[in-house]
């Protein structure tokens, strides 16, 4: 059945490992939309920071900001329905889940000047239309005019278990305790940061995914999307 594709922009926000990407990707396939996980742009910039040797702490804020301004980002659709992230001509998509990036990304994403540059990249991308964007501040800051906004939740323990299983599936060795501790640390940084903290937009629909399957969550949002 051809969906009545009304919303040009769908925002999916929520904390670490709540399933935004899995949900967004499946939803994008059903709707024939582009899916973009904005965590990838913060991770791509973190990759660039590590490569450049600039210290990610506050002392080098100005340098971080300059680096963000002169870094060229490009987003190219992949066969899997995601967008590949190209930084200064290099496809870095396969490098972005590395632990050294994971450890630093929330710290870099706290810097207001860096966020400004990343947000303008995300808005430019949204101009393509028919985009599902996932992140922390999509409904509140990046795309406040998105016609449909959802905020996914699940307990910290549930999210840690999901992330742990995913890592094991990918052949990465990590204990549940470490995954849980990292997740709590990143949640705290994302929730408590001064600029664009993780929170639902006032007009977002909150979906607790705890007792729902991936398909059930996708179904819910799909139904909302075709009835906006
Ligand atoms: O979603 P993901 O875990 O890949 O995001 C990596 C980090 O990027 C998050 O922990 C958060 O600090 C930051 N981020 C953000 N705003 C977004 C998306 C991600 O601050 N819209």
pLDDT digits (tens, 9 = 90+) for 169-198: 888 888 999 999 989 998 999 999 999 999
pTM of the prediction? 0.93
Q: Which residues of 135-166 are buried (b: 16+ CB within 10 A; e: fewer)?
A: bbbbbbbbbeebebbbbbbbeeebbbbbbbee
**CA-closest candidate to residue 132, choices 15, 18, 223, 32:** 32
> What tokens does 43 get?
């991770």
Return all residues near 168 (Cβ < 8 A) that are at least 6 apart.
174
Hey, whose CA ends up nearest to atom 8 of ligand 1?
39
Return all residues near 10 (Cβ < 8 A) that are at least 6 apart.
27, 33, 131, 132, 133, 146, 147, 148, 149, 150, 221, 225
Q: How many angstroms does the Cα of residue 70 sit away from the middle of ligand 1? A: 21
Hey, whose CA ends up nearest to atom 5 of ligand 1?
39
What is the pLDDT at residue 58?
Answer: 58
The whole-angstrom separation of Cα 24 and Cα 115 is 22
Q: How many angstroms does the Cα of residue 1 sit away from the middle of ligand 1? A: 35
Q: How many angstroms does the Cα of residue 29 sit away from the middle of ligand 1? A: 23
Ligand 1 neighbour 182 (Cβ under 6 A): no
Ligand 1 neighbour 125 (Cβ under 6 A): no
Residue 218 has pLDDT above 80, yes or no: yes
What is the pLDDT at residue 1?
Answer: 45
The whole-angstrom separation of Cα 171 and Cα 219 is 30
The whole-angstrom separation of Cα 35 and Cα 133 is 6
The whole-angstrom separation of Cα 142 and Cα 155 is 25
Structure confidence at residue 167 as a pLDDT band (50, 70, 90) = confident
Mean pLDDT, all residues of the chain: 92
Ligand 1 neighbour 193 (Cβ under 6 A): no
Hey, whose CA ends up nearest to atom 12 of ligand 1?
106
Backbone dihedral angles phi then psi of residue 83, each to the nearest 5 degrees? -110, 130
- The H or E element spanning position 121 is helix 112-126
Q: Which domains does the chain have, with CATH numbers?
A: 3-221 (3.40.50.300)
Q: How many angstroms does the Cα of residue 205 sit away from the middle of ligand 1? A: 20
CA atoms within 13 A on the CB side of 112: 3
**CA-closest candidate to residue 164, choices 16, 2, 9:** 16
Ligand 1 neighbour 139 (Cβ under 6 A): no
Q: How many angstroms does the Cα of residue 46 sit away from the middle of ligand 1? A: 11
Atom of ligand 1 nearest to the CA of 122: 21
User: Strand pairing partners for 71?
Assistant: none
Q: What is the rounded average pLDDT of the residues 19-31?
A: 95
Q: What is the rounded average pLDDT of the residues 133-144?
A: 97
Q: How many angstroms does the Cα of residue 208 sit away from the middle of ligand 1? A: 20
């Amino acid at each position: 059945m051809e969906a009545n594709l009304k919303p040009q922009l769908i925002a999916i926000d929520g904390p670490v490992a709540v399933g935004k990407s899995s949900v967004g990707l499946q939803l994008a396939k059903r709707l024939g939309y582009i899916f973009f996980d904005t965590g990838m742009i913060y991770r791509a910039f973190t990759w660039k920071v590590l490569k450049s040797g600039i210290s990610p702490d506050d002392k080098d804020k100005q340098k971080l900001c300059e680096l963000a301004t002169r870094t060229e980002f490009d987003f190219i659709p992949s066969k899997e329905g995601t967008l590949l992230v190209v930084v200064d001509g290099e496809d870095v998509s396969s490098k972005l889940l590395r632990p050294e990036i994971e450890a630093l990304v929330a710290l870099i994403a706290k810097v207001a000047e860096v966020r400004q540059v990343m947000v303008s990249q995300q808005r430019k991308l949204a101009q393509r239309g028919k985009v599902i964007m996932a992140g922390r501040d999509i409904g509140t800051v990046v795309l406040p005019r998105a016609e449909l906004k959802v905020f996914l939740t699940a307990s910290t323990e549930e999210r840690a278990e999901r992330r742990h299983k995913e890592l094991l599936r990918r052949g990465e060795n990590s204990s549940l305790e470490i995954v849980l501790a990292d997740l709590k640390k990143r949640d705290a940084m994302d929730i408590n940061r001064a600029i664009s903290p993780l929170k639902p937009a006032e007009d977002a629909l909150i979906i607790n995914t705890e007792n729902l399957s991936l398909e059930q969550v996708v179904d819910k949002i799909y139904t909302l999307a075709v009835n906006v």
